[in-house]
Structure 1
């Protein structure tokens, strides 16, 4: 038996190397029958799936014409359109008036009363109740921030320094333990137990003495 190759060499029509793994993945599964002929198109070149699709509410809202333009069209062709066409225009105005974009632009109108197209572009001022609600919110936001202080720390009774000295001397002395490693012979090595000679000749200053003196604590 000859040696089985792991890749297919490039050819003149496909100048790339195809691995054995890709060849195995490209084989269809058992029982799979491909019956699709690709996406269907109409005679005008539009996909059939696009005609049968359902747009979202955002697409429906943004597809309506501007409310101001519909009002101008209604006023201009009021005496030229028939009644059926005017009713259709009224339904378009009602649908465009209820969209989110008209509310964000503050251009909604009251369809129950007659309104002229000239007054449509004017912005409506706030009522007294709206101003009161707005000022109440500003007063709430402008209030000073409440400060949450942590609870006081509960400490035990203080003890004089003479009573603490035995424990201080005990914890300040170096511990006794066996060292199984030999001391390093390097020049930079410093023994942590051995005190430098310069430290033995050091004379404490008055400032250090003042800082080292214990403070007098008030009686609890």
Structure 2
């Protein structure tokens, strides 16, 4: 299987190592969210799409190594669904997340950004268990949807849509995502983009910074449905 080390050093293409799986190894399975073209051959093929341009690979984390499990290898582990569920359950049981909450407008609670960071390389990959994550940081699901950014292995930014304050939060969130992506170590950047996740888990890229550092925001598509659509899943803005 191809691999990354925790420090982000990429081995030579096609490098393999033989592995056997027991109970301990299954406990070490993790979801690993990345653009498919930055994963070793065979790892992204058939992997679930979690955001536009990002897939959930399956990794085995031991000590300071990240080894990727090709989808074709999963039949011997109980099948793809069983492996994916196990990996997602495992990441839910990790601790060590640092949580920073900050309102983009101090007068509005509905402009809050929640930034998650940590030392393990699967902080952003917790986007693969988004319902669990929202439950942890918000307590209840959002009927309007979520705004999410996964700029690096060690950083995830989340905004739970509660009102029109989402429009205030978008630009600071895009700027923060671009900053964390550009400053990620080695190959540890994931995406500088910001995504909208609708109440039914459809997803759309809605914001990014261009080459000049200007924030581009798209309020059409799913985002437009939420902003201008009727309750209970739309804000009905004029």
Q: Which has the larger radius of gyration?
A: 1
Q: Considering fraction of residues, name the structure with more helix.
A: 1
Given the two structures, how large is their TM-score scaled by the length of structure 2?
Answer: 0.20
Bigger share in strand: 2
For normalisation by structure 1, the TM-score amounts to 0.21
